[in-house]
C-alpha cells in the first residue's frame, strides 16, 4: 500500500462526493424507465416473448440502482457535511429510485397476466406512455443541470432554467393524470370484458401514473435544495 | 571540550535537519495537496515549485517566528547553566522528532509546530522549573493554534463567496473574471511582497524608508495585476472561435483561469509554510549555536542566515524524497476539487499562516489548510466534507504538547547524566 504511514489530514477532510454517485444511480433510472416504452410496445403488439426480455432487463437495472442507493446511504453518516440538507438529498434519491421501481412494477404486473389491451384503449395507452417518457426526459434534463449548479453553489442563471424545468414537470404530471383518468373511465365502460382484465389493466395504468408522481416529488426536492 | 561541543553541534545539525526534512516531507506535501488534487500543478511542478517557494519563505521571512520559538517560551536568562540550554535544545528537537515520527507512522494529523513548542516547554520545566516557562506566551501561542484554522476558514469562506457572487453567479462570468481575476492576483502579490519587505532582514537590507517600502509593494501588486489581466485576456481570447458558449463551457474557461491562478496560490502557500515552519527546525538549532559560539544566550540574538538556509534545504530534500510520495497519494485521491475551490482553500490557509507568522506566532500550516477546506465547505462550495477531522485534530492537538514535553524532559535528564 502506497498510502501507509503518511499523514494526510486534508485528504481525510475531503470526502467522495455523493452527487457523483447520485448521477450514476440516475443513469440506471433513466435507461430503465426508457426501456419501459419499448417493453409496453411489445406488450401491446402481443409479442410477449420479446416483452419478457425487457422485464428481465428492467429488473436488472432496478437491482443495480438499488445497490447504488444503498451504497450512497451507507456513505452519508452524521459527520459528513453536504452543501444541502441531507434529508432533501436522501428523499431525492428515494423519489428517483421510486420512478424505476414503478416502471419495474408495471412490467411485473404485465408479466403476471398477459391481459389483452382492448383496441380502442390502445391509442390512449400510447399517449400515456409518451407523457411518462416526456416526464422522465424532463427530470433527466434537470439532473444534467444539477451538475452545473454545483459549480455555482446553487446560484446564477442556471437556477432559473432549473425552476422552469420543474414547472414543466408539474405540468406533465398533471397531463398524465388526466389521461390516466380517461383510460380508467374508458375501461369501466367497455361492455364485454371480464372483470379481472379490467382490474389488471387499471392496476397497470395506476402504476404507470406513479412514475410522473415520483418525478414530480423529485423535482420538488431539487427545488427545496435551491431554496435554501 | 572543543571536540565535545563540535560533536554536539554536528549532532544537533543532524536532528534539526531531520526536523526540516519532516516539514518538507509531510507538511509541505500536505499543503500542496489541493493544488495537485485540482490538477493545477503536476506532481513534478508541485515538488520543485513547492520546494523553491518554501525555501524562499524560510530564508526571507522565517526569522520572525524563529525568535518566538527560541526565546519566547523559555527565558534563557533564567537558566543558569548555559550547557543546559544546549542539552535542552537537543532534547526538544529529539523529543519532537520522535513524536512526529511516531505520529506519521500512526497516521495522526499532528502538527510539527505543536510538537516543537511542547518540547521547549518540557525542557524549560525540567531545567529551570515552572517559572522559567513563559506561560502567558505559551497561552497566546496555543490561542493562535485555535485562531489560525478559524481564520483560514473565514478567509477561505469569504474569498470563495466573493468568487461566487462576482464571477460564477454573474450572467456573463467571462467578462467578470477578466476584471476580478487580476484583482485577486494583485491582492496575493500585495500580501506576499509586504510580508517579504516589512520587518524582515531582506527588507532592512534594502535600506528604504517605510514610505518607500509601501510604495514598492503597491507597485509590485499593481504590476502583477496588470500582467495577470493580460494573461487572462489572452487565455479567454483562445476560446474566441466558440461563438455562443454554453454555461458549461463558460464555467470550464473560468476554472481554466483559476487553474493558472492556483499555480500562484500554491506558490503562496509553500512560501507561507516555509516562513512559518522553518522555525521548528531552526529555533533549537539557533539556541545551540549561540550557546556554542558565544558561550551564552542573550535575549536578542540574530538567527544566522546559514541556519535558515540549512532549514530551507532540509525542507527541499524532504519534499524531494518523501513528500513526492505523499503528494502522489493525495493527488490521486482528491478528485472532486475544482480550481475555484482549490484557489480559495490555498488563499485562505496561506494568508492565515502568513499573518500568524508575521505576528510571531508559530502555527500549524496543515491545520490552517483543513480550516480553509471547512470554510469553503460552509460556503456550500464542496460536495462532501468530513467533520470528524476536527475532532481528530483537537484530540491530537491536546495530547501533542504534553507528550512532546514529557519525552523531551526524559531525554534532557538522560543527556545531563550522560554528558
Inter-chain touch B109–A148, beta carbons under 8 Å: no
Q: Which three cell numbers stand for residue B145?
A: 493554534
Q: Do A153 and B381 touch (CB under 8 A)?
A: yes
* Distance between B305 CA and the closest CA of chain A, angstroms: 30
CB B402 within 8 A of CB B114: no
Residue with cell 495537485: B36
Contact between chains at B385 and A81 (C-beta distance less than 8 A): yes
How much is the average pLDDT of A194-203?
94
Q: Which CATH class is domain A14-226?
A: mainly alpha
- pLDDT above 90 coverage of chain A, percent: 75
Confidence (pLDDT) at B86: 82
How far apart, in whole angstroms, are the C-alpha atoms of residue B265 and residue B279?
22
**Residues of chain A found within 8 Å of residue B326, distances taken between Cβ atoms:** 6-8
CA distances from B347 to B37, B110, B153, B371 (A): 15, 22, 10, 12
Measured CA to CA, the distance from residue A158 to residue B239 in angstroms comes to 21
Which residues face A14 on adjacent strands? B385
The structure's pTM equals: 0.89
Distances (CA, A) of B52 to A16, A182, B56, B274: 32, 75, 6, 9
Quote the pLDDT of residue B1.
43
- pLDDT tens-digit map of B7-35: 888 888 899 999 999 999 888 988 888 88
The distance of A133 to chain B (nearest Cα, Å) reads 26
Chain centroid to CA A129: how far? 13
Residues of chain A with C-beta less than 8 angstroms from the C-beta of B377 = 81, 83
- Say yes or no: A79 contacts chain B, CB-CB below 8 A: yes
Which is nearest to B68 in space by CA: B274, B270, B277?
A: B277
What's the pLDDT band for B201 if we cut at 50, 70, 90? low
B346 vs chain A: nearest CA distance in angstroms?
12
H-type helices in chain A, by residue range? 9-13, 18-44, 48-74, 86-112, 119-151, 157-188, 195-227
Partners of B328 on chain A (C-beta within 8 Å) are 2
Which residues of chain B lie closer than 8 angstroms to A151, CB-CB?
A: 168, 251, 255, 338
Helix (H) or strand (E) holding B352: helix B339-358
Chain B interface test: which of A4, A13, A157, A162 (most B C-beta within 10 Å) = A13
C-beta atoms of A14 and B336 within 8 A? yes
pLDDT value for B71: 59
Q: How distant is the Cα of B317 from the closest Cα of chain A, in angstroms?
A: 17
pLDDT in the model for residue B39: 87
Give the residue from chain A lying closest to B35, CA to CA. A10
Contact B373 A20 (CB under 8 A): no
pLDDT tens for residues B278-303?
A: 888 888 888 888 777 776 665 555 67
pLDDT of residue B190: 93
ipTM: 0.84
Contact A161, A106 (CB under 8 A): no
Q: Where are the domains of chain A?
A: 14-226
Do the Cβ atoms of A3 and B383 come within 8 Å?
Answer: no
Query: Does residue B268 have a pLDDT over 70?
Result: yes
> Which residues 84-113 in chain A show a CB within 8 A of chain B?
84
Banded model confidence at residue B257, pLDDT cuts 50, 70, 90: very high
Is-contact B217 B197, C-beta < 8 A? yes
Distance from CA of A168 to the nearest CA of B (A): 21
- Distance, in Å, from the CA atom of B198 to the CA atom of B186, rounded to the nearest integer, reads 18
Predicted confidence band at B231 (pLDDT cuts at 50, 70, 90)?
very high
Q: Which of B155, B141, B72, B130 is nearest to B344 (CA)?
A: B155
**Hey, how many other C-beta atoms are within 10 angstroms of the C-beta on A7?**
27
End-to-end CA distance of chain B: 11
Give the model confidence (pLDDT) of B304-329 as tens digits: 888 889 999 999 999 999 888 888 88
Amino acid at each position: 500500500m502506497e498510502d501507509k504511514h503518511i499523514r494526510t489530514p486534508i485528504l481525510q477532510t475531503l470526502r467522495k462526493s455523493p452527487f457523483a454517485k447520485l448521477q450514476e444511480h440516475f443513469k440506471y433510472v433513466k435507461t430503465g424507465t426508457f426501456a419501459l416504452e419499448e417493453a409496453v410496445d411489445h406488450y401491446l403488439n402481443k409479442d410477449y416473448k420479446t416483452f419478457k426480455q425487457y422485464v428481465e432487463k428492467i429488473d436488472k437495472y432496478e437491482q443495480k440502482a438499488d445497490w447504488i442507493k444503498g451504497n450512497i446511504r451507507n456513505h452519508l453518516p452524521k459527520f459528513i457535511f453536504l452543501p444541502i440538507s441531507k434529508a432533501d438529498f436522501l428523499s431525492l434519491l428515494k423519489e428517483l429510485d421510486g420512478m424505476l421501481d414503478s416502471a419495474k412494477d408495471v412490467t411485473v404486473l404485465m408479466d403476471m397476466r398477459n391481459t389483452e389491451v382492448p383496441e380502442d384503449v390502445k391509442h390512449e395507452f400510447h399517449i400515456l406512455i409518451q407523457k411518462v417518457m416526456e416526464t422522465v426526459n424532463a427530470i433527466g434534463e434537470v439532473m444534467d443541470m444539477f451538475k452545473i449548479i454545483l459549480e455555482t453553489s446553487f446560484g446564477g442563471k442556471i437556477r432559473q432554467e432549473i425552476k422552469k424545468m420543474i414547472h414543466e414537470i408539474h405540468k406533465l404530471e398533471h397531463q398524465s393524470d388526466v389521461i390516466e383518468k380517461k383510460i380508467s373511465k374508458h375501461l369501466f365502460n367497455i361492455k364485454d370484458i371480464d372483470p379481472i382484465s379490467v382490474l389488471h389493466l387499471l392496476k397497470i395504468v395506476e402504476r404507470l401514473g406513479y412514475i410522473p408522481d415520483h418525478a414530480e416529488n423529485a423535482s420538488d426536492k431539487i427545488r427545496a435544495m435551491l431554496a435554501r | 571540550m572543543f571536540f565535545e561541543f563540535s560533536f554536539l553541534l554536528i549532532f544537533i545539525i543532524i536532528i534539526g535537519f531531520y526536523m526540516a526534512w519532516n516539514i518538507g516531507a509531510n507538511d509541505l506535501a500536505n499543503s500542496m495537496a489541493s493544488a495537485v488534487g485540482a490538477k493545477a500543478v503536476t506532481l513534478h511542478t508541485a515538488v520543485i515549485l513547492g520546494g523553491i517557494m518554501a525555501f524562499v519563505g524560510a530564508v526571507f521571512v522565517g526569522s520572525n517566528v524563529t525568535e518566538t520559538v527560541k526565546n519566547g517560551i523559555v527565558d534563557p536568562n533564567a537558566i543558569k547553566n548555559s550547557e543546559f540550554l544546549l542539552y535542552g535544545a537537543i532534547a526538544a528537537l529529539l523529543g519532537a522528532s520522535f513524536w512526529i515520527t511516531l505520529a506519521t507512522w500512526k497516521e495522526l494529523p499532528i502538527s510539527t509546530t505543536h510538537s516543537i513548542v511542547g518540547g521547549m516547554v518540557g525542557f524549560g520545566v525540567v531545567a529551570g522549573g515552572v517559572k522559567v516557562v513563559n506561560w502567558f506566551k505559551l497561552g497566546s501561542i496555543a490561542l493562535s493554534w485555535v485562531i489560525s484554522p478559524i481564520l483560514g476558514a473565514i478567509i477561505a469562506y469569504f474569498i470563495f463567496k466573493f468568487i461566487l457572487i462576482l464571477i460564477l453567479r454573474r450572467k456573463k462570468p467571462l467578462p467578470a473574471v477578466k476584471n476580478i481575476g487580476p484583482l485577486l492576483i494583485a491582492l496575493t502579490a500585495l500580501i506576499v511582497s509586504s510580508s517579504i519587505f516589512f520587518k524582515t532582514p531582506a527588507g532592512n537590507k534594502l535600506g528604504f524608508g517605510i514610505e518607500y517600502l509601501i510604495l514598492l509593494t503597491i507597485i509590485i501588486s499593481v504590476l502583477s495585476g496588470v500582467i495577470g489581466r493580460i494573461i487572462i485576456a489572452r487565455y479567454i481570447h483562445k476560446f474566441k472561435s466558440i461563438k455562443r458558449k454554453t454555461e458549461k463551457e463558460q464555467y470550464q474557461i473560468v476554472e481554466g483561469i483559476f487553474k493558472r491562478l492556483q499555480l500562484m496560490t500554491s506558490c503562496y502557500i509553500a512560501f507561507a509554510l516555509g516562513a512559518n515552519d522553518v522555525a521548528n527546525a531552526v529555533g533549537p538549532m539557533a539556541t545551540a549555536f549561540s550557546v556554542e559560539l558565544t558561550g551564552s544566550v542573550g535575549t536578542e540574538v540574530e538567527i544566522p542566515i546559514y541556519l535558515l538556509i540549512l532549514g530551507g534545504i532540509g525542507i527541499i530534500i524532504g519534499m524531494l524524497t518523501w513528500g513526492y510520495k505523499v503528494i502522489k497519494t493525495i493527488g490521486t485521491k482528491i478528485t472532486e476539487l475544482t480550481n475555484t475551490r482549490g484557489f480559495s482553500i490555498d488563499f485562505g490557509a496561506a494568508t492565515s499562516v502568513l499573518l500568524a507568522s508575521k505576528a510571531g506566532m508559530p502555527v500549524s500550516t496543515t491545520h490552517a489548510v483543513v480550516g480553509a477546506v471547512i470554510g469553503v465547505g460552509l460556503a456550500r462550495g464542496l460536495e462532501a466534507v468530513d467533520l470528524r477531522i476536527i475532532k481528530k485534530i483537537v484530540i491530537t492537538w491536546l495530547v501533542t504538547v504534553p507528550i512532546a514535553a514529557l519525552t523531551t524532559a526524559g531525554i534532557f535528564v538522560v543527556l545531563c547524566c550522560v554528558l
